[in-house]
Amino acid sequence: MEVRKLFLYALFLSVLTFFIGVYLGYMLNRYAFQTVYRDYEGVRLSIESLQYLLLEENVCDLEKFNLIMGYLESLGKKIEILQNSNSPFISREDFMLLKAQYFNLEYLHYLLAIKQMRNCNFSYNIILFFYDDSIPCDLCKRQGYQLSLLKAEYEDRLLIYSFDVSYPNTFISYFLQKYSIGGVPSLILISNSTYIFRDFIGYKELENYLTL
């Protein structure tokens, strides 16, 4: 009987430990998701504040533009980490909504950058990077890495906005149709001129098209 009691007790502890582990895993992943979502809200409010300022201020006087771009890039990296974790505790619907909202933030920031280029004496190199996470795409990953190398070298002189074409989004569809983009990876580079790259391009070659 004593052996049986010890066995049942050990079994109970094992089951309890398992469920505690599952619960803690769930809570930690939800906390990570909520943290990223709070970061998203912070960036969203900052961009919206800039838009409201445009009603009274000149777009050329926006001092926090590059700072918010840094926040936006940091948010993108956190979303990528969440996605790569493949956590079963984060619902696909919640994650897709977060990612779609992030694309909207990128687009709003892009519009502000275009206004500064057109209305002020500002010189940016803007890259719109189109990829597809719904299919295996090694070239997309390689292209993303090449862009990260370029960004590390040129920092604030280069603005990169990345969009997943598998998401149903009006402005993503608009760019794909306007520039006849049908495959991934694809890039649109906007500087003194507009260049379209419908295939992988290394950062050294891409560097030749930048306005410095």
Which of 89-93, 99-103, 162-166 shows the highest mean pLDDT?
A: 162-166
Are 110 and 133 within one domain?
A: no
Are 135 and 94 within one domain?
A: no
Are 116 and 127 within one domain?
A: no
Are 10 and 88 within one domain?
A: yes
pTM: 0.75
- Say which CATH number the domain at 210 has: 3.40.30.10
Residue 9: its pLDDT value, please? 47
Local structure of residue 77 (DSSP, 8 states): H
Check: CB of residue 36 under 8 Å from CB of residue 98: yes
**Can you give the residue range of the structural domain that contains 162?**
123-212
Domains of the chain: total: 2
Distance of CA 1 to the CA centre of its chain: 60
Phi, psi of 134 (to 5 degrees): -85, -10
Q: How confident is the model at residue 26 (pLDDT cuts 50, 70, 90)?
A: very low
Instruction: Convert the pLDDT of each residue in 160-205 to its tens digit.
Output: 999 999 988 888 999 999 999 999 999 999 998 999 999 999 999 9
Residue 188: its pLDDT value, please? 96
Domain boundary among the residues 122, 157, 184 is at 122
Closest C-alpha among 205, 209, 203 to residue 190: 209
